[in-house]
Each structure stands twice: as C-alpha cells, then as structure tokens.
Amino acid sequence: MSFLGVDASLTGRRWVGPGVEVERATEVLVQQTSLPLALCQVLARRGVAADEAEAFLAPSLRDLLPDPRSLRDMEKAATRFLAAVKARQRIAVFADYDVDGGSSAALLLVWLREMGCAATLYVPDRIDEGYGPNDAAMAELAAAHDLIVCVDCGTLSHGPVAAAVGADVVILDHHLGGETLPDALAVVNPNRQDEDGALAHLCAAAVVFLMLVEAGRQLREAGTRGPDLMALLDLVGLATVADVAPLIGVNRAFVRQGLRVMARRDRLGLAALADVARMDTAPAAYHLGFLLGPRINAGGRIGQADLGARLLACDDPHEAQSLAEKLDLLNTERRDVETAVRAAALDQAEARGFDAPLVWASGAGWHPGVVGIVASRLKEASNRPSIVIGFEDGIGKGSGRSVSGIDLGAPIQRLAAEGLLIKGGGHKMAAGLTVAEDKLDAAMARLSELLAKQGAHLAGAADLKLDGMLMPAAATVELAQQVEQAGPFGAGAPAPRYAFADMQIRFAKRVGESHLKISFGDGNNTKMDAIAFGAFDGPLGPALENHGGARFHLAGRLDINTWRGRQSVQLRLEDAAPA
C-alpha cells in the first residue's frame, strides 16, 4: 500500500513507507536502547540490532579495518614498494583521471614525500589516450623507472603491462577483473575473480590505503616507522564518496574519520578547494560528492588530466590556490558542456523509449568528459541502466551507469570479449566502453539482451522510500543531528526521507537555472524552508512554483543550514504530490 495514498507523485513515483518488520524493529530499539525514535527508525531500516547499535553509531577503524593480507598479492606489492623506497629506486605512479585515481595517487605521493622520496605522476589524457594504461606510456615510463604503480586502473591492461619492459608493475585497483590477469608483479584488487568478494565495496584509494597499512606493518617489523596513516584518511573518505562506493562496513569508518581529518584543513589542496567552492561549514559527505568531487574531476573531464591529483598532493599554498581556482573554472565550463549534451541525449533516449532494458544515446562530438554524468541523468530519469557515447572519427567513447540490482560491468566486459566493443570494463554500477560506429547498434542490442536477462526491463519508476512523517515543528536542528549519528549517508546507505503531509506553500522562487526554493507550513504558524535541486529539469519545479494555493504532500531529507553562524533545518525536497 502506498504511503499517504501517493501512487504517482509529480515525478511519477509511488511513495512507500517502512514495512511492518521495520516498525517492529524500531519499537524494540527504542525500548532497549533509549535512543531517539527518529534514530531508531534509521537503525531498524539498516538492520542494526539493539546490541550492535553502540558500535554502529561510532564506527571504529580499528575494529572494522580488514587485514590487508586477506587480499591476494598484497604482501608482495608492499614488499616491492618498500624495496624501491629503501634502494631509492625511480618510482612512477600511473593513475586514472577521476577523484578515486587522483586520491589514490596523492596517497602514494604524500606518503613517499614524507619518506624523503619523489615519484613521477602520470595521468593519461581522457581524449588522446583514454582510460587506463596504454602501450606507449607504459613503455616510456618503464625506460626511465624501476617500479610503476598503477592505481584505479590496470586490471585489464595485459598489453600495456607487457610493454613496460625493464620495470616491475604493481596494480592497485578495484575494477572488475577478467579471467586472466596482466603479467604484473602484483595485482591487488578485491574484484579479482579469484577473490571472495568480501571487500568488493572498496574503492581504489581504500586498496592503496590498505597497501600502506601493510607497508607500515613491514616497516615496524624491521624496527622503523612510516608516516602517520590516520592523517591520510581525508583522501580515502573523499574517494569513497566521490566514487559512489557503498557506505557499508569499513567504508563508513573511512568516511567518518576522513571528514574529521578534513575538518582540520591540514591538506592545503582540499582547504583551497573548499574555499573556492564557498564551503563555509564543517565538511559532510554531501560536500565531498557534490562540491569537492566534481571540481577535482573537472581536470580529467575537460582540462588537464593530472590537475586533481596534483592539487590533492600539493604542499605549497600558492600552488594549491592556483590549482583550486583553475579546477573551479573548469568545473563551470564542464557544467555548460554537460547541459548541451544532456538536452540532446534526453531527447534521443526519450524518442527511443524509457521502457527498454537499456536506455542509451550517442552523438558526434559529444565530449567524452561529460558522458558519464549525462548517463547518470538518463538513469535517474528512466530507472534503467543507461549509456551515453560520444563519437569522434568513427570511434565512440562511452560511459554507463546502472541501477540497484543490475550488474552493468560484467555484460560490458562480455561484449568486449565477443568483439562488439573495442574495449570495455568497470564494475556493477558504472562502466566505460569504446566502440566502432559501425558496431554501435549491434553492441547496444546485445547489451540490452544481456541486461534483460537480469530483469532490467521489469522495473517501473523507482519507488520513493520514506522513513516516516514529520510536522514542521518537529523538524528541529536537534532531530537532524540525532539522525546524522547513523551516517554518513550516501550510496548503499541513503539518508532517511520524511513526508510532510498536506502542506501549504507560502513562498516559491526559482534559484539559478533549475533549482527551486520554497517555504511551506501546516497552518499552525510553523513554517519551514526547502530547496529542490534541479527541480526545473522535470515537472516538480513548474508545479510547485505555480501552485495556485493548492496543498501538497512534500518529501525529502533534512539538512542543517548554516547562515551567519546560525543553524536552521531545511528540507532537501525530492518529490511532491497533490494533497
């Protein structure tokens, strides 16, 4: 049964409240823990029992950190890395151009710098070289270095690893592995096919961090000490959120501890970036995903590929300021490019139909740096796995995003093995591909077929899951702070959503190009502010702006808004329905 009787909201979604089992579990938690009801609702939804609540609310890295040696090749990778450090060998770090790659590279560069070693950073150009190691770059690096560490890439790079003649190659990655691995000295990857999958939720920066934990253990066994690893957790937390890794297990501790480290503003690059992004409150997971992450990504998307990694590893305040300003400018340019591609892709995909197992669009000249973001927009609009491809000279570079329960990475890899793609890979929720124009239709048809076998065509518009109902007077700063104890929230751990029933909209104003700000109340002289990001990209914005006095059920997440030192609660509005 739908919540508040909403079977089709303004965005076409059915509202679903907590089930009977969750309600019962909530009651048990309230009785046995004396924790606030709103917090118990979140814990019950996450399946946290009463005797686990205390540990869940204070996730400890000491308790949750896995043994690095549980991953294959880890001991070998750390041993070779330390041998290079001890012998002062020449080390190169080959990194992907996204936030996870940049953070992974920065972890190694900062750690090495504190050990008195320098390393060469190499980040491939997205357009000229594409994702991951390539033969020419690896051969050139091998000619001038003794050890190449590939981070957030390399697991499928058989040819490029073979081209690195004369240097040892260590791969620290998390992308889905194939049946065979490259002939590297070590391939550390929780998503290798011969791993048990227990750590499949780690991003690449977390894998790099575990390698540094193992290196620290080996140093201690040899009677010496390495750099302070806890001070590096801001980089791990940033990558975990920006790479949309599920916030479960040790990932929760990485992000929780990482935010505390980031709040100290010791990392010059992140502090400078927070300033140019006008971030005036203590960092939260939201800031990592929506303010800092996109700016760090902007260099790899439409600018100079290594800017993000250089900013994160920077130890000069003037350079940090310069890089932060450059990335902020590139991010503005990226948004303009994305807007044009998104409009064309949505038109094309809608004409093709949103009810197929795969929603896709392609176009000549579409910038490869924004196709992944646009694929996310298509996925959100259709609740289907989505792919967007930009073509140049008959070759298309594309990116895909999937929905919960549908594995996109494995079918993409299968298409590459079948010869329909030039190359492709990724993980369950995101993947990249390169395809020849004359094979596009056949490749998309085959991918649709494989996704249909997983049931990708059966989902309707995504249900909006709600945790309960609130009145504006009950939505206090104290309540929002209590709920936040169950965070951080993000992928795999959505923030609780609440419905506000039968509300009167008192004020509505368009903000920027597509956002909506409203004030609403329940008729009892209590009112509350709300912000709906991207509301005018769909029907939500126009309907609420032109409300004509009608009353609405509103749904969204609680935010704490800080203005001139004062805190207030606002609703991050996600959906609405006529009351």
- Residue holding tokens 């249900």? 463
Nearest to 177 by CA among 158, 162, 205, 164: 158
- Residue holding tokens 């093995």? 417
- For residue 450, is pLDDT > 90? yes
Spatial separation of the C-alpha atoms in residues 175 and 475, rounded to whole Å = 41
Spatial separation of the C-alpha atoms in residues 193 and 398, rounded to whole Å = 25
Query: Which tens digit of pLDDT belongs to each residue from 75-112?
Result: 999 999 999 999 999 999 999 999 999 999 999 999 99
Q: Are strands 359-364 and 386-392 parallel, antiparallel or unpaired?
A: parallel
Which residues make Cβ contacts (< 8 Å) with residue 34, sequence separation at least 6?
A: none
Nearest to 232 by CA among 207, 252, 214, 257: 257
Confidence at residue 250, expressed as pLDDT on a 0 to 100 scale: 97
* Mean pLDDT, residues 49-71: 95
- Which pLDDT band holds residue 280 (cuts at 50, 70, 90)? confident
Tell me the domains of the chain and their CATH numbers.
64-328 (3.90.1640.30), 340-453 (3.10.310.30), 466-578 (2.40.50.460)
* Mean pLDDT, residues 181-204: 97
* 64, 66, 532, 541, 578 from 549: Cα distances, Å: 52, 56, 19, 15, 11
- For residue 526, is pLDDT > 90? no
Contact 569, 559 (CB under 8 A): yes
Which residues are registered as beta bridge partners of 561?
Answer: 568
Tokens at 528, concatenated: 């509350």
Spatial separation of the C-alpha atoms in residues 331 and 295, rounded to whole Å = 5
Nearest to 417 by CA among 429, 409, 427: 409
Spatial separation of the C-alpha atoms in residues 148 and 379, rounded to whole Å = 36
Point out the least confidently predicted range of 54-58, 222-226, 371-375, 559-563: 559-563
DSSP string, 396-463: EEEEEE--TT---HHHHHHHHHTTSSSEEEE-SSEEEEEEEGGGHHHHHHHHHHHHHHTTTTS--SPP
Confidence at residue 30, expressed as pLDDT on a 0 to 100 scale: 94
- For residue 61, is pLDDT > 80? yes
* 33, 275, 279, 301, 318 from 325: Cα distances, Å: 48, 10, 14, 16, 11
Nearest to 561 by CA among 280, 258, 273: 280
- Which pLDDT band holds residue 229 (cuts at 50, 70, 90)? very high
Spatial separation of the C-alpha atoms in residues 434 and 405, rounded to whole Å = 24
Nearest to 371 by CA among 423, 334, 409: 334
Contact 153, 189 (CB under 8 A): no
Residue type, 146: D
Element (H, E) at 567: strand 566-578
Element (H, E) at 571: strand 566-578
Interhelix angle for 268-276 vs 317-352, to 10°? 60
Mean pLDDT, the chain, whole residue set? 94
* Mean pLDDT, residues 32-50: 92
Contact 333, 370 (CB under 8 A): no
Task: Give 156's Cβ-side CA count (13 Å radius).
Answer: 24
Which residues make Cβ contacts (< 8 Å) with residue 19, sequence separation at least 6?
A: none
Which residues are registered as beta bridge partners of 387?
Answer: 360, 400
- For residue 576, is pLDDT > 70? yes
Nearest to 349 by CA among 376, 386, 383: 386
Query: Which tens digit of pLDDT belongs to each residue from 373-411?
Result: 999 999 988 889 999 999 999 999 999 999 888 999 999
- For residue 513, is pLDDT > 90? no
Nearest to 377 by CA among 426, 342, 352, 347: 342
Confidence at residue 131, expressed as pLDDT on a 0 to 100 scale: 86
485 CB-contact burial (10 Å; exposed 0-12 / middle 13-18 / buried 19+) = middle
DSSP 495: P
Tokens at 359, concatenated: 């929603």
pTM over 0.85: yes
Share of the chain above pLDDT 90, in %: 86
**Main-chain dihedrals φ then ψ at residue 189, nearest 5 degrees:** -160, 115
- How many CB atoms are located within 10 Å of the residue 365 CB? 8
- For residue 535, is pLDDT > 70? yes
* Mean pLDDT, residues 228-240: 98
Sign of the Cα torsion 194, 209, 481, 572 reads negative
What letters, b where the CB count within 10 A reaches 16 and e where it falls short, cover 387-401? bbbbbeeeebbbbbb
- Residue holding tokens 């965070």? 487
Confidence at residue 127, expressed as pLDDT on a 0 to 100 scale: 84
Spatial separation of the C-alpha atoms in residues 136 and 133, rounded to whole Å = 9
- Which pLDDT band holds residue 36 (cuts at 50, 70, 90)? confident
Share of the chain above pLDDT 70, in %: 99
- Which pLDDT band holds residue 461 (cuts at 50, 70, 90)? low
Spatial separation of the C-alpha atoms in residues 205 and 288, rounded to whole Å = 15
Coil, helix or strand for 387? strand
Confidence at residue 459, expressed as pLDDT on a 0 to 100 scale: 67
Nearest to 488 by CA among 199, 282, 331: 282
Residue 530 — left, alpha, or beta (φ > 0 → left; ψ -120 to 50 → alpha)? Answer: beta
